[in-house]
Chain A
Amino acid sequence: MEKGSQEMNVLELKDFNAYYGNKKIINNLNMAIKRNKITAIIGPSGCGKSTLLLSLNRMLEEVEGRTEGQILFNGKNIYSISKEEIRRRIGIVFQKPTPFPFSIYKNLTYAPIYYGVRDKKRLDEIAKGKLIISGLYEEVKDEIHASALKLSGGQQQRLCIARALTVEPEVLLLDEPCSALDIKNTANIEKMLLNLAKDYTIVIVTHNLSQAKRISDYTAFMLDGELIEYDETHRIFSFPKDKRTKEYIEGIYG
């Protein structure tokens, strides 16, 4: 039973609290994230959903947050694994695209080189492979050595996703990856995420309810640092159990 649930659940949060200074952001949260599924986290601004995401790969430490309780990654407490290791295995993509100010190619080889890939051919393969996955390859194949800063916002965001994949993570966290993008780019990214879900576990924080509805298998609704409801997406959207979930979905909180 225990083993079975571990195989299903990549990440498990137990009695989890998160703080910035003395301010409690996440309050006693219990949740399990299923392997190879897309889990959406929805909720109004300031409800703690981004903080939750940052906690999952210990990026919260970089922004001076602290946590209580447990997060288990494949059954192991993430604080017993080094933060470098946990971040390699749980990648994150932020709201604003953050391309490194070098060429597209160098963006993609930056982390593999760190992990000891020196072979030029292997690096080329990684770069090409991840560009294909992110649907960027056709658009940039002739200017792969041009600066990544010259790409459009949507292309930059897809590059960042491709870059996060270059270290072969198991989980990909996305913090409102489409909030700065237009419909076409958003559609591109959604299509790509649906493809990725075959091989990766995806957790996406989003403001966009229809996006959560379109792509996620599970949806979690958070309000004021608490997990109000967490279930299969169609249930959350069709038969919300909690009144607050229903109100949010119907657009009360905005």
Chain B
Amino acid sequence: MMKRIQSALFALWISVSCVLTIAAGLFIILYIFIKGFKTITWEFLLSNPGGIPIGVEGGIFPAIIGSLLLMLISIVFAFILALATAVYIVFYCESQRLENTAHVIIQCMAGIPSIVLGLFGYTVMVVSLNMGRSLLSAGLTLGIMIFPFIQVRIEKAFREFSKSVLNASYSLGVSKVYTIFRLILPQCRRDIVSSITLAGGFAMGAAAPIMLTGAVIFAPAPKALSSPVMALPLHLYILSNESISMEKSYATALVLIAILITINIFAITLTLWRKEVKR
């Protein structure tokens, strides 16, 4: 009897949790959709913000472009470093102590509050390296933020790779480099692509690291790496915090969410399609 009540309670608990989570997610998306959808027009998407204070009229075009570019720069920067770090730790590092140290550092990096990273980016990149508040400074700061996120996932994918298949490759006398590029990376592509996409979404949604390093209240779509940029999350923050326009801030949020969902769907289809081809 007791056992049956227990399992019934457990079943109730897990199903209610599941429903609540899905409901909360849907609620957020629908709420933003309803509040923001009527404001979205082609003009809103494709024109610069205007009016006084800025943002009351016009659109968010520079912020969309800015956010996409920031994401791109941060992904490229973080991915290159993360891939190299993971390859080194898994395939080349022979000292257990070095490996543990690297892991601790990466863990710590993942735990740094994003506003602190912003301050770091400001002092190091904006001031010391004299890069100014720019697309590049902000992109690199975001890259530092998502680096541990990508690195951990790539390393995990490498560790899950079958040791016996790896040895089969070494036993043919081929080099480590060839094995990594021809056997392991193609196999881990799915995990790598999905980790990059998730990290890209994470970078795109972050406002704190870019506030001090490159994102500004108004700038046209950037022409160079050294231009300051607008970004969706900061724009959203300004619009709502300064009570400039709630409608436009919901619309901005909707655009941000829509972009993130699109990127995720794109990544999922890409990886599924790749898997299909392989079969």
Chain A residues, Cβ within 8 Å of B278: 101-102, 147
Contact B168 A160 (CB under 8 A): yes
Among A88, A89, A100, A160, chain B packs the most CB atoms within 10 A around the CB of A100
**Given the contacts A100-B183, A101-B187, A114 and B174 also touching, CB distance less than 8 Å:** yes
Task: Please measure, in the bound complex, the distance between the C-alpha atom of A147 and the C-alpha atom of B167, giving whole angstroms.
Answer: 20
Closest to B167 in A: A62
Contact A110 B167 (CB under 8 A): no
Query: Which of A32-40, A90-98, A206-214 binds B?
Result: A90-98
* Chain A residues numbered 50-77 whose CB sits less than 8 Å from any CB in chain B: 57, 59, 62-63
- Indicate whether B97 reaches chain A with its CB closer than 8 angstroms: no
**Given the contacts A59-B167, A96-B164, A147-B278, A87 and B182 also touching, CB distance less than 8 Å:** no
Contact B170 A59 (CB under 8 A): yes
* Chain A residues numbered 99-125 whose CB sits less than 8 Å from any CB in chain B: 99-102, 110-111, 113-114
Chain B, interface SS category: helix
Contact B162 A110 (CB under 8 A): no
Cβ-defined partner of A110 (8 Å) among B164, B170, B183, B187: B183
Contact B173 A100 (CB under 8 A): no
- Indicate whether A193 reaches chain B with its CB closer than 8 angstroms: no
Contact count band on A: 20 to 34
Chain A residues, Cβ within 8 Å of B172: 87-88, 91, 110-111, 114, 163-164, 166-167
- Indicate whether B16 reaches chain A with its CB closer than 8 angstroms: no
Chain A residues, Cβ within 8 Å of B173: 83-89, 111, 167
Contact A57 B171 (CB under 8 A): yes
Q: What is the interface size of chain B, counting residues whose CB is below 8 A from a CB of the partner?
A: 19
Task: Please measure, in the bound complex, the distance between the C-alpha atom of A101 and the C-alpha atom of B185, giving whole angstroms.
Answer: 12
Closest to B164 in A: A98
Count A-B contacts at CB 8 Å.
Answer: 67
Contact B182 A94 (CB under 8 A): no
Contact A91 B168 (CB under 8 A): no
Q: Per-residue 0/1 for B211-249: is the Cβ within 8 Å of any A Cβ (1 yes, 0 no)? A: 000000000000000000000000000000000000000
- Indicate whether B165 reaches chain A with its CB closer than 8 angstroms: yes
Chain A residues, Cβ within 8 Å of B183: 100, 110
Known contacts A84-B174, A98-B165, A160-B168; 10 additional CB pairs below 8 A are A62-B170, A87-B173, A91-B171, A94-B167, A100-B168, A110-B172, A110-B174, A110-B183, A114-B175, A147-B279
**Which 10 residue pairs of A and B lie closest in terms of their CB atoms, listed nearest first?**
A88-B173, A87-B173, A98-B168, A111-B172, A114-B174, A84-B173, A92-B171, A98-B165, A98-B164, A114-B178
Name 17 A/B residue pairs within 8 A (Cβ), A-sorted.
Answer: A63-B167, A84-B173, A84-B175, A87-B172, A92-B171, A94-B164, A94-B167, A98-B162, A98-B164, A99-B165, A101-B165, A110-B169, A111-B174, A114-B175, A114-B182, A160-B168, A164-B172
